[in-house]
Structure 1
Amino acid sequence: MIENNNFYKFIERFKNKEFPSFNLNSYLEVNNPYSFCFRVSDDSMLQFSLQKGDIVVCRHDLEPKKGDLIVIYMNGGMKIWKKEDDIQPILIEYCIKVTNPRSSDPQGYFVGVVCSMFRSITKLQEKIKKRRESSSQK
């Protein structure tokens, strides 16, 4: 256990950057004027490891490249698609090709490129606990 006096010295050393650290805002790019975040509302994006409650950080100033996850506004909600080639993204969930979302086609509109995501550890711990409880009951 750290004594009070040593604890405050530790905190001061941390504040003075004597320990390796990084700026979370620059990592997540949330201060960028082209960045926005949204919360995943259900488990429909599990193929991209996005769970209900996760926060997705996107930028709409980036040009999507092959392999990028992109956000499309479609039917009143956000969808995540994976850009497979230089012309059209593929909606992985349904495995069908769709038209270019940058066009005025009503199927969807390009919103941004996924930069990062994060989730609550507490939520993850709750899911693990539920799985253990359900497997122990079997």
Structure 2
Amino acid sequence: MRKVLKTAIQDDPQISNLLERMPDDVSQSFSEKQLTCLKVALASRQWGQHKIDLRGTFKWFHYRYYFVVLAGKNRRELSAREQELSQWIKALIVGGFILFSWALGLLSLYLLKSALGINLFGDFSLGIWDWFKALFA
């Protein structure tokens, strides 16, 4: 067995990990230039830093599944279709928030009216006040 001198690129953790997973005859056939190109290709595939980086695995029946949730600032250029979709989603979120706030405000006013004993319509009730009182009884 002949002893092969390790080059500086072979000491790199990424490259040494890659070479360890190959048969010896294949791993020793790479030139230093080829290993450098492999390192550049591997480095370009790594994910950047994200505000939210959640990774994990779980077992379900006889299989193991993995999940990755990444979130952060979008640095890509959006296509026209993506920009239009983004505007629609923003409008739906804002509209939903306004609708929810409006309904919560009306509910609060109705509960306040009922707590003060103000009856706008003679013998009519929505039953919300009775339900609310039953929650705390």
Q: TM-score, normalised on structure 2?
A: 0.28
**The structure with more helix, counted as a fraction of residues:** 2
**The structure with more strand, counted as a fraction of residues:** 1
Say which one has the larger Rg. Answer: 2
